[in-house]
């Protein structure tokens, strides 16, 4: 099965529709006010209602309360919740959405500890270490470390993915999914149509060579 793709930091309906038409399995919406890609839950609700069936909507949060997450998840019609701060996923079980937990590959990163500390039901997203910006930095991570983690559990590869390196990243890590944000932008929160097309085209060439013609998704099979 091919790697799933999440286009994150979406703020505009035209970008959401273009990404889904190109083959995005999920779209990410940032609800942390400290991000230049911050969006309002009602704005996201309107975008999600316009999406084709089976495209997942993932909310990105940073150290925000479980009650706030639950409220936003309901209003914005989210499929999954991504915790991108210092949260303990166990505290968010009541949100009643699939959980994704961002794990920063800092210089002292301990892969064995990271795997044992995170429940298997929570999907691990690997990103560059940045305690201030919390993602969308455009910096790549150590793909060799990421590949080791991908052999142990389901992971989402993030950090500095672009049309120019995504095929190499997929081949090197073989993750469950990949997450792109700044690598397909004209400016923070505004996706560049040419970069989006190039990103998916870069993935399509090696996939076609392998004989992969379809891709299952992060998608919610109950959404109509």
Return the residue matching tokens 């590869």. Answer: 157
Distance CA 85, CA 102 (A): 7
Domain extent, residue 70, equals 4-210
Of the given ranges (31-35, 40-44, 170-174, 206-210), which has the lowest mean pLDDT?
206-210
pLDDT value, residue 211: 60
pLDDT value, residue 74: 97
pLDDT of 177 strictly over 60: yes
| 127 is an active site residue | yes
Domains held by the chain: number: 1
pLDDT value, residue 110: 80
With respect to residue 221, please indicate whether it lies within any of the assigned structural domains: no
pLDDT of 39 strictly over 60: yes
Q: In this predicted model, what pLDDT tens digit does every residue of 116-140 receive, in sequence order?
A: 889 989 999 998 856 555 555 567 8
| 88 is an active site residue | no
**Of residues 15, 25, 127, 179, which has the active-site annotation?**
127
**170 close to 1: Cβ distance less than 8 angstroms:** no
With respect to residue 154, please indicate whether it lies within any of the assigned structural domains: yes
With respect to residue 220, please indicate whether it lies within any of the assigned structural domains: no
With respect to residue 150, please indicate whether it lies within any of the assigned structural domains: yes
Instruction: Provide mean pLDDT across the span 197-211.
Output: 80
With respect to residue 216, please indicate whether it lies within any of the assigned structural domains: no
pLDDT value, residue 108: 72
With respect to residue 222, please indicate whether it lies within any of the assigned structural domains: no
Q: For residue 65, give Cα distances in angstroms to 52, 61, 96, 100, 135.
A: 30, 9, 14, 16, 19
With respect to residue 10, please indicate whether it lies within any of the assigned structural domains: yes
Q: Check which CATH number belongs to the domain holding 90 and give it.
A: 3.20.20.70
pLDDT of 97 strictly over 60: yes
With respect to residue 37, please indicate whether it lies within any of the assigned structural domains: yes
pLDDT of 224 strictly over 60: no
**Of residues 8, 15, 25, 179, which has the active-site annotation?**
8
């Amino acid at each position: 099965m091919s790697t799933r793709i999440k286009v994150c930091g979406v703020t505009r309906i035209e970008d959401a529709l273009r990404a889904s038409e190109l083959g995005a399995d999920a779209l990410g919406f940032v609800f942390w006010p400290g991000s230049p890609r911050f969006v309002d839950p009602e704005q996201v609700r309107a975008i999600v209602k316009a999406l084709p069936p089976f495209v997942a909507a993932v909310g990105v949060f940073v150290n925000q309360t479980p009650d706030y997450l639950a409220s936003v998840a309901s209003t914005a019609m989210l499929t999954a919740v991504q915790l991108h701060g210092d949260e303990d996923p166990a505290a968010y079980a009541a949100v009643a959405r699939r959980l994704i937990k961002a794990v920063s590959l800092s210089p002292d990163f301990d892969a064995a500890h990271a795997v044992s500390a995170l429940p298997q039901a929570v999907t691990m997203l690997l990103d560059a270490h940045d305690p201030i910006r919390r993602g969308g930095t455009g910096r790549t991570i150590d793909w060799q470390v990421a590949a080791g983690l991908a052999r142990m559990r389901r992971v989402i590869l993030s950090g500095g993915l672009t049309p120019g390196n995504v095929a190499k990243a997929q081949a090197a890590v073989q993750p469950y999914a990949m997450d792109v944000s700044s690598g397909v932008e004209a400016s923070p929160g505004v996706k560049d149509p040419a970069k989006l097309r190039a990103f998916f085209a870069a993935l399509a060439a090696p996939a076609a060579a392998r004989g992969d013609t379809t891709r299952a998704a992060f998608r919610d099979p109950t959404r109509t």
